[in-house]
Structure 1
């Protein structure tokens, strides 16, 4: 059956879809800004979201402007590149620190949307990725506007989109992201084998060394974060934290305490749970290396699928799973959906479901977690269960679609790349 939209010329349909996408971005971001201005409402967690910027980030800014990174600060646990993000509001001196931070976050959000849309407009590609980013980010309410994870995700999205045709550029953006918040380094695990991998790693290495040299020359104590990062325990929102939440109802005497910038468990066997999380992270890394060695069939979507899988595995095995981590997963899911060859579509559904549960918990119902109530226990069981299912399903689908032999022989990534159209 022929519909009116199917009879439209291709250029008109693309413009129509872009207009709908742009209108959706404007509407949803206006709603997120409205929530941000009402952040002190009781049903939004009494302002705990916005305090991160105007108190914590601003305090770090006041230290950084004097040419030194925070020292002996248990809350400073980020690589030195994060300092650039904390200083960035100075680019808009006519606004307050909070206003400038939010404005720059929205700018990075818009850039991410544009990059996803451009990738989706190429022949054989899809705008579903841009649509997922536009519609999925507001599931976290106003939290994305008051954290710097949107900026990191923008760097990761640019890295993945450019990795295939310009591996050195893709590697450079992955390194920039890793210098801000570590996890974008995982994107390099999915770089196409052969020359693209060497180019991506070379670009990443040169960028990392250059930027670190600049930061070391310009600031004192750039590696002070390492001391504080190693002391982190088990956050109540992590997979191990969910186990300990249920354990409190079985007589375990542990308690929750605010430390290292998060609500963590303190008590007997917490160290063992933390060690188990680190062991599971090592297992996840070993599985990814095994996949890398065994993979033979690659398409243009494989680097995207591998990136989502890697970050999912490292997220669910982490000692900390903060609500803003979902921003990373939404962004990587969106990149996957720009390709019609992705094997991760069911995974993106689970990611969105987990995101919706996360927003139900934080900020409004966060007290149910800090008090270890049955409501909080089951909400965390649901959210982390969805994330665990997404991680397992992601790895299984990545393994099955890349390690088997195609009918008629093995296909290399360069062959697939030559057959498929390049992004615009």
Structure 2
């Protein structure tokens, strides 16, 4: 490939220049992160958990107890092939995360184009959100699943339905939360009078899950059993919405609670313990299932009663609502879970009106800022565990209340859109690049 051709691909127009600039910024940030981690002697979660607890046991034929579904071990194993020492693994892991970050950038560009938006601002928004969550993106596992799920959404928008369900199945087998989007995908096709595609998608999703699960069971049943046992027995994590509320009930003297620091007995998370937290830990999982099913039912009802012209917006709202409900009614709400929302929120903004987008952007930025404040104060300053104090729990409570507020805003918007009500305003991003700069043409909204 000649230099002019490379220059054209990377710098040929405004969209390509923006994409290349963001990719370079990602690269600089990843290198800076590695330098800080290396020279500051920071023990990362990648080395402590992914390398020592997952990758090394896997390559010594001792299948690890993991919090993730069976296919996750494939992603965890890949960096080990390029670096089998702790630092080599860390470097390869960050490099792989960078590849997924850039892949997500291309997917956002493609998604914007598919729904009729100009591409630069959505890519910039994606870049900013990823940078704000950088240490979680590079030191956790969640970016891989977010990008896979985003790819599934792009395939749905582009009407490449078999690929959408295949990617959604793979995402579920890496980290289980994409499973809650499967009924939304399925219902979307049914209500768009594509029952054949819906049945085919159901078959692809189910067959992929069964085949890979059966294969893992045949290799070693512990791959499946360890995952189920790990998640089924977890206590109430302190960052969960329920824990942040119950903690302050304890401060008021209404119940007795305490914080148990991360250890093998607590599934390596800081948990809230006591009679009330322990009781909540047993009921939140079934309650979460009921609440997510309620979102599916709400989507089905609103989609059936709506005018049909806003089905893409309602689809995006339902996807975001499912993810938010999963976070709010859960016994675990780790800081890195915010990464799950990035792709889905940008998709929702792309198909929504301006006034709604302002609220969503403000809430998203506020949630991320309090997430970072929680990490800096509770982990960086206090050291986590039993050292977390009332101020630290207050920071977590505010972050959680903002998440609840976002869920309420999304559910309210689902009710408005599903009723066929007129949109509140005009999104200034829409098709701006498609109109000549000398005109003020307002093009029809693409739903």
TM-score w.r.t. length of structure 1: 0.83
CA contact (8 A) 1:300 1:420 kept: no
CA distance in 2, matches of 1:146, 1:176: 21
In the alignment, the residues of structure 1 paired with residue 129 and residue 17 of structure 2 have an alpha-carbon distance, to the nearest angstrom, of 18
Greater percentage in helix = 2
For the structure 1 residues 300 and 290, does the alpha-carbon distance in structure 2 shift closer, same or farther, using more than 3 Å as the test?
Answer: closer
Aligned pair count reads 392
Which string of whole-angstrom CA distances, capped at 9 and with x for unpartnered residues, describes residues 343-391 of structure 1?
A: 9623343123201210121145333864342321321121001100111
- Pairing 1:288–2:295 present: yes
Distance 1:368 1:276, change over 3 A: farther
| Structure 2 residue aligned with 1:318 | 330
Report how far residue 255 of structure 1 moved: 1.8
Q: Deviations over 1:49-105 (max 9, x none)?
A: x1x1112111211121244532xx4xx221111111111113425881111111111
1:305-326, Cα deviation, whole Å (9 max, x unpaired): 2211101111111101111101
Q: Is the 8 A contact 2:299 2:318 kept in 1?
A: no
- How far 1:245 sits from its partner (Å)? 2.5
Q: Which SS does the other structure have where 1:319 is aligned?
A: coil
Give 1:125's match in structure 2, choosing from 92, 107, 117: 117
Instruction: Name the residue aligned to 2:285.
Output: 278
Contact kept, 8 Å, 2:136 with 2:336, in 1: the verdict is yes
Paired position in structure 1 for 2:175: 181
Matches within 5 A, 1:25-424: 25-39=23-37, 47=42, 50=44, 52-59=45-52, 60-70=54-64, 73=65, 76-93=66-83, 96-122=88-114, 124-127=116-119, 128-164=121-157, 165-191=159-185, 192-194=188-190, 195=195, 196-223=197-224, 224-251=226-253, 252-257=255-260, 258=262, 259-278=266-285, 280-294=287-301, 295-296=303-304, 297=308, 298-339=310-351, 345=357, 346-366=359-379, 367=382, 370=385, 371-404=387-420
Residue 11 of structure 2 is aligned to residue 17 of structure 1: no
Q: Tell me, what secondary structure is at the counterpart of 1:320? A: coil
Once the two structures are superposed, what CA deviation does each residue of 1:181-203 show, in whole Å capped at 9, x if it has no partner? 10111222322132243333222
Question: Counterpart in 1 of 2:436?
Answer: none
**Higher relative contact order (Cα pairs below 8 Å, separated by 6+ residues):** 1
Gaps of 5+ in 1: 1-10, 408-418
Say which SS state the counterpart of residue 265 (structure 1) adopts: strand
Q: TM (normalized to structure 2)?
A: 0.79
Alignment partners' CA distance in 2, 1:308 and 1:342: 17
Alpha carbons of 1:319 and 1:288: their partners in 2 closer, same or farther (altered >3 Å)? same
Backbone CA RMSD of aligned residues: 3.1
The 2-side partners of 1:107 and 1:166 are apart by 23
| Aligned match of 2:440 | none
> Does structure 1 conserve the Cα–Cα contact (< 8 Å) formed by 2:316 and 2:348?
yes
Q: 1:129·1:334 contact (CA, 8 Å) conserved in 2?
A: yes
Structure 2: where are the runs of 5+ without partners? 1-8, 424-443
Secondary structure (helix, strand or coil) at the match of 2:189 reads: coil
Alpha-carbon spacing, 1:197–1:404, altered in 2? closer, same or farther (3 Å): farther
